[in-house]
Structure 1
Amino acid sequence: MSNTEFHPCPICSIPTRYFARYTRAVCDNCYSKACDVQGRKLSFFNTSMSGGFEAIVTETKEKYESHICYIAGVKCWAEEARFGGIVIEMMIDGDLPNR
């Protein structure tokens, strides 16, 4: 494992792939634990092959109208990744890193 390719997940500290664009990206395990403020599990999707962002409450399939989610009580932000897929990053004092 190279220091330039991995960094500790900001939530659980497990080594996860490092992307310079997403410096606070969480690991896959933490990603799967994303929930809303009420503790309901969330699922995230691209809306089409060309991208877009959609979030739902996993159990009810109800549309979730925010990018804010929580992992282990830590406030995070889910968004469409630059080249497709969804990335979740930890927020610090309500802010994300500059893009």
Structure 2
Amino acid sequence: MSSYRKGGSAGTVIAVIADIMAFIIGLWILMYLLDANRANDFVQFIHDSARWLAGWSHDLFTFDEAWARVVAGYGLAAVVYLFVGHAIANRVHRL
């Protein structure tokens, strides 16, 4: 029974980390769409963090509209982090 709890807490940590990563990316998408002030330190921090997290999917799509590239590229990363993170968390919960 104690091993189940260890797996459960590790799975919870993995799920929370995946959620935070997706939240940061989603927050950047929202800030971009609402034309947040990029000179603001908080906005810059979120942008830098999201760009690092979504580095593999940034500029993956070549839509003509910049907003569509941001939503598709960053959105894909957020969905992948949620899907993969929660799949791993569920797998760890079963251990």
TM-score by length of 1: 0.23
Which structure has the larger Rg? 2
Higher relative contact order (CA 8 A, sep 6+): 2
Q: Which structure's residues are more often helix, by fraction?
A: 2
